[in-house]
Amino acid sequence: MNIAFFLLPKKDVVYLPLKCTMRQALEKMEYHRYTAVPLIDEDGKYAGTLTEGDLLWKLKNTPGLTFKDASKVPLTEVPRRVTNNPVRIDAQIEDLFTLAIVQNFVPVVDDHDIFIGIIRRREIIEYYGKMLLANAKEANTEKSFSPKYLFFNMVKGFRSEN
């Protein structure tokens, strides 16, 4: 299934311009209660993911840096420890399963690498959950409906495909 159906469009995504400051990032992330947000460069291209941990490590490793001074530190000076690999809009939802294991969201770009939105881990899990439930109903066994059984078989099936 094409991922366009699952896409949360850019207009509905909280993201940060790469040119903003550490303080702006902290305030926006706190306001929205997010631990990670996409970064977008001046051309609209996906430039990476910023996490709370990135900001915390920058504060820890910069002697004398205060919250007030954070308004002078551009995000380009904050080392990032997480790489959320983007996918193109023509990808299939099945291609995202392995990414969802380690990423809270998967950035989506167009053919010119322009950021167009994200797909949240939740949507990927819900898709596979519905698929498993449908398969269990088709098998029509009580054991098939147990969440533990469904999850075990989903992981088992995934591992055998890779």
Residue with tokens 């969440």: 147
**What domains are defined for the chain?**
7-91+106-120 (3.10.580.10)
Q: What is the pLDDT of residues 48-84, one digit of tens each?
A: 999 999 999 999 999 999 888 999 999 999 999 988 9
How far apart, in whole angstroms, are the C-alpha atoms of residue 128 and residue 141? 19
Burial class (CB in 10 A: 0-12, 13-18, 19+), 3: buried
Its pTM stands at 0.78
What are 19's two structure tokens? 């040119």
What string of DSSP letters covers 8-42?
A: EEGGGS--EETTSBHHHHHHHHHHHT-SEEEEE-T
How far apart, in whole angstroms, are the C-alpha atoms of residue 25 and residue 154? 37
Q: What is the pLDDT of residues 137-156, one digit of tens each?
A: 777 655 555 666 666 666 66
